Amino acid sequence: MREEIIISGRMNKGVDPILHAWGWEIAVYLFLGGLAAGLLIYAGFYAIRNKEKNFFTALKIAPMFVPFFLIVGLMALFIDLHHKLYFWRLYTTIHLNSPMSWGAWTLLVITPLSIIYAVLNLKTVFPQFNFSNKYIQYLSFTIEKTEDKTINWNWKFKWMRDLETFLNKKKLILMWALLIYGIILGIYTGILLSAFNARPFWNTSVLGMLFLVSGLSTAAAFIMLISKDHEEIKWFSKIDLAMIGIELFLIIHMFMGFLASTQVQIEAARMFLGGQYTFVFWGMVVFMGLLLPALLEIMELRGYKINHRFAAVLILLGGFILRFVIVYAGQSSRYLY
């Protein structure tokens, strides 16, 4: 018999009895970050390949949501900080060894870039908004009024017009930047967790790829959800199917790695193979969030009448739960005793 107890009593909040330093905030941030990354990658990729005509939603409408997703994600992250007034310390240094540090810098670049891209698209996405709408009226500070009360998106100030022309000229560079930073952001959310060698369940390099692919899959689902163009929906549901396939492979790959590794990682895997996370993971993430929507998408592509929005919502939900499960399970896996 062997028994180990802390006889001096230790109940540090957030650490004992089971580590709980991160909660829903981090899961929400990882999900939104992945989704935003996926949307930017598609926008960048298809813009560079000149597919503006074919993928209007992916290139113009979906990127409008990205700044919103990123800002909500950053707010969740900020809520999670315990020493909030010092958050600017993130930007007084850069530590390449710390994923959180270069992640913070990546976000500092990608958030403004995504806002710029969204603003450049205003003209195309909302060509005829009614000025009488009371919210839009606030815009008249920067936009010239028109006779017929629709928006012309003609900026009042010359420097704004110049800036717009300049940015439109450099759009190709912008798209490359969005593509590259999107990939970095997508992988970063996984690397953030995999860099913690103290938490065996996170400590696998598969996680970076898994989060990137899951981000791409949820982004495709989001585009399917808001698009009205049948060809576009069809194309993105095909992409989504491919991503689901890769994701399933990565999940199996990850568990094979765990089971062939050290005792702590075998135990981490056991939480999912009969342990406390078995149902949420295999039932809700893998079946409900991957297999079922994949099946629905295949049936739809084969010509059955199924509403594609149903599959899209399931994928978004599955991606969301995946982040939760991984954030929580990682903290229950440990080296100690």
Partner 1 sequence: MRYAMAIDTLKCVGCSDCVVACQTENNVPIGYCRDWVVEVTEGTYPQLALENRSERCCHCENAACVRCCPTGASHKEEGGIVVVTHEKCIGCAACIQSCPYDARYTHPDGYVDKCTFCLHRVNEGLKPACVSVCPTKCMYFGDLDNPESEISKVLKNRKWKLLIPEAGTDPKLYFLV
Instruction: Give the nearer residue to partner 1 in terms of CB position, either 108 or 172.
Output: 108
Does 22 participate in binding partner 1 (rule CB under 8 A)?
yes
Residue 14 is a binding residue for partner 1 (CB under 8 A): yes
Contacts 24+ apart (CB under 8 A), 276-279: 276/332, 277/325, 277/328, 277/329
Tokens linked to 262? 């050290």
For residues 196 and 234, what is the distance between their CA atoms, to the nearest angstrom?
39
Binding test (CB under 8 A) with partner 1, winner from 54, 101, 152, 261: 101
Closest to 14 in 3D by CA, of 5, 28, 26? 26
Tokens 């495709």 correspond to 220
Q: Smallest distance from the beta carbon of 6 to partner 1, in angstroms?
A: 5
- Rounded to whole angstroms, how far apart are CA atoms 161 and 144? 12
Residue type for position 189: T
Residue 300 DSSP SS3: helix
Q: Nearer Cβ to partner 1, position 192 or 233?
A: 192
Nearer to partner 1, 53 or 336 (CB): 336
With contacts defined by CB under 8 A, name the span among 30-38, 89-97, 143-151, 292-300 that binds partner 1.
89-97
Closer to partner 1 by Cβ: residue 14 or 283: 14
Residues 118 to 177 in contact with partner 1, rule: CB under 8 A? none
Under the criterion CB under 8 A, does residue 109 sit at the interface with partner 1? no
- Judged by CB under 8 A, the stretch of 126-134, 190-198, 210-218, 313-321 that binds partner 1 is 190-198
CB atoms within 10 A of CB 221: 31
Q: Is 335 among the residues that bind partner 1 (CB under 8 A)?
A: yes
Q: Which stretch binds partner 1 (CB under 8 A): 114-122, 178-186, 281-289, 329-337?
A: 329-337
Whether the CB-CB separation of 73 and 28 falls below 8 Å is answered with yes
Task: Give how far Cα 160 sits from Cα of 126, 164, 166, Å.
Answer: 19, 6, 10
User: Tokens 């399917």 map to which residue?
Assistant: 224
> What's the min distance (Å) between Cβ of 14 and partner 1?
6
Does 3 sit near partner 1 (CB under 8 A)? yes
Which residues of the chain form contacts with partner 1 (CB under 8 A)? 1-16, 19, 21-22, 80-84, 86-87, 89-90, 92-93, 95, 97-101, 103-104, 195-199, 262, 330-331, 334-337
